[in-house]
Amino acid sequence: MSDERVFVGLDIGTTKIAAVVARLDEYNTLNIAGVGTSPSHGLRRGVVINIEKTVQSITKALEQAQLMSGCHIENIYAGIAGDHIRSINSKGVIAVSGKDKIITQNDINRVVDAAKAIALPMDREIIHILPQEFIVDDQDGIKNPIGMAGTRLECEVHIVTASSAAVHNIANCVKQAGYNVEEIVLEPYASSLAVLNIDELDLGVAIMDMGGGTTDIAVFLDGSIRFTSVLGLGGEHVTNDLSHGLRTPMDQAEEIKKKHGCALQGMVSEDELVVVKGIHGRAPREIARSVLSAIIEPRMEEIFTLALKELEKSDVYDSLAAGVVLTGGGSLLPGTAELAERVMGIPAKIGA
């Protein structure tokens, strides 16, 4: 099978790095051929802080995926997140070229170029230019104007920018691991393509990718992306709260969170007990599971409260008929969707 029919995705997260290899068959369907994961030790809040450790983690995850899939990996699509991500909506206007005034791909390229002509600081670069809609002679709501007649073409786009240093550090880590970066992809955008359906995209929906160090948000309406944002809070902050509250190391706190954690205290019975291992020869102790939830719920509530404030900035919060879809490891705690509904006031579900 040719290399160009093999696609590799790399999720470079704060707590783990995950790789996936997919083959495109003759029916244009992607089939997962291999996966690989590795603990992430070189990132903080989605940003590389240690090149060497990040390269080691990337290498391990991709080698696992390559071994499982039996494919030779050269080019990858790398995800990017972090609270350095910014976005803006922009608009471009051009006069349609050609004698017959029929809109062509060349006109599309020109109007998108006009829309992305914004002033950027020296330390930032554009990673996505995502068209929202086209307007032909004041007729709006057009998704693909090619072949239509008109004299004036407008385009509204969503532009996502990132720290140039963050982008180059990710690309450098991948290169040092022995691979090439085909494209840098915003992680909540990639998540939305994986878990949202057409009806949700049209009705209005928000996606929250709850990772270890950050929570990434993207908002869609009428089939197009309208808003993106990143919160500097994630599952690792919940683990840190448990570590302090239970006076136990981070790795044990993470294990307890995964096995016994619950985001909503009201869902936990008062008589359920959890064993906390002792450290340095100390005896293990029992605590009520409700104590765990009492520590977890305030932090999760804070994340959803901050997310709500971000959604209200998007100006389409009242149009989110499909509510919010939660993804990422931080969303796997029981009660997460119920707490999100209570705090944000819109329907919530776990993405699949």
Distance CA 87, CA 127 (A): 10
Question: Which tens digits make up the pLDDT trace of 256-304?
Answer: 999 999 999 889 888 888 888 877 777 888 898 999 999 999 999 999 9
Question: Which tens digits make up the pLDDT trace of 329-349?
Answer: 899 999 999 999 999 999 999
Distance CA 138, CA 152 (A): 8
Distance CA 135, CA 210 (A): 35
- Tokens representing 131 are 């068209």
As a whole number, mean pLDDT of residues 295-314 equals 94
Mean pLDDT of the chain: 91
Place of tokens 């709260």: 241
Distance CA 335, CA 338 (A): 5
**Of 105, 92, 45, nearest to 235 (Cα)?**
45
**Of 24, 29, 33, 40, nearest to 67 (Cα)?**
33
Place of tokens 């068959």: 25
Question: Under a CB-based contact definition with an 8 Å cutoff, are residues 212 and 187 in contact?
Answer: no
pLDDT band at 2 (very low <50, low <70, confident <90, very high): very low
Dihedral pair phi/psi, residue 204, rounded to 5°? 115, 115
Provide, rounded to the nearest whole percent, the portion of the chain with pLDDT above 70. 99
**Of 148, 179, 205, 230, nearest to 320 (Cα)?**
205
Question: Under a CB-based contact definition with an 8 Å cutoff, are residues 161 and 127 in contact?
Answer: yes
Sheet holding 224-231, edge to edge: 224-231, 215-221, 205-210, 324-327, 348-350
* Confidence check: pLDDT of 311 > 90: yes
Distance CA 70, CA 61 (A): 14
Question: Under a CB-based contact definition with an 8 Å cutoff, are residues 24 and 30 in contact?
Answer: yes
What's the pTM value of the predicted model, to 2 decimals? Answer: 0.86
Distance CA 130, CA 128 (A): 6
What pLDDT does residue 205 have? 95
| SS3 readout for 153-208 | EEEEEEEEEEEHHHHHHHHHHHHHCCCEEEEEEEHHHHHHHHHCCHHHHHHCEEEE
Domains of the chain: 3-83+165-185 (3.30.420.40), 86-162 (3.30.1490.110), 196-352 (3.30.420.40)
**Of 238, 239, 207, 236, nearest to 221 (Cα)?**
207
Crossing angle of helices 51-69 and 164-176, in 10° steps, is 50
